[in-house]
Amino acid sequence: MKKRTIKYTNEPIGDVQIIKDFLPSPDELVLREETVKVTLALTKTSVEFFKVAAKKRHTQYQKMIRSLLEQYAEHYS
């Protein structure tokens, strides 16, 4: 693969518009919900399913299971 060389110049960039910061702070991005640790026995098949699905989506399988349970509970609440 050929490495591209970027050449920087010190030229005017034209009209610049300053945009108000609209992004949330890092503290606002971290949603901390109260959690409870439980021991749960799952089938090997279901855990393997979530591990494969999580790997494809670059996430954690425990997070996917937790999300599924939260959605189920919310739906039937």
- CA 69-71-73 angle, 5° bins: 70
pTM, to two decimals: 0.58
Q: What is the pLDDT of residues 33-68, one digit of tens each?
A: 888 999 999 999 999 999 999 999 999 999 999 999
| pLDDT above 90 (res 8) | no
pLDDT digits (tens, 9 = 90+) for 10-35: 888 888 888 888 887 777 777 778 88
Per-residue pLDDT at 1 exceeds 70: no
- Contacts (Cβ under 8 Å, ≥6 apart) of 5: none
Q: Residue 58 has what pLDDT?
A: 92
> Distance between CA atoms of 3 and 62, rounded to whole angstroms?
40
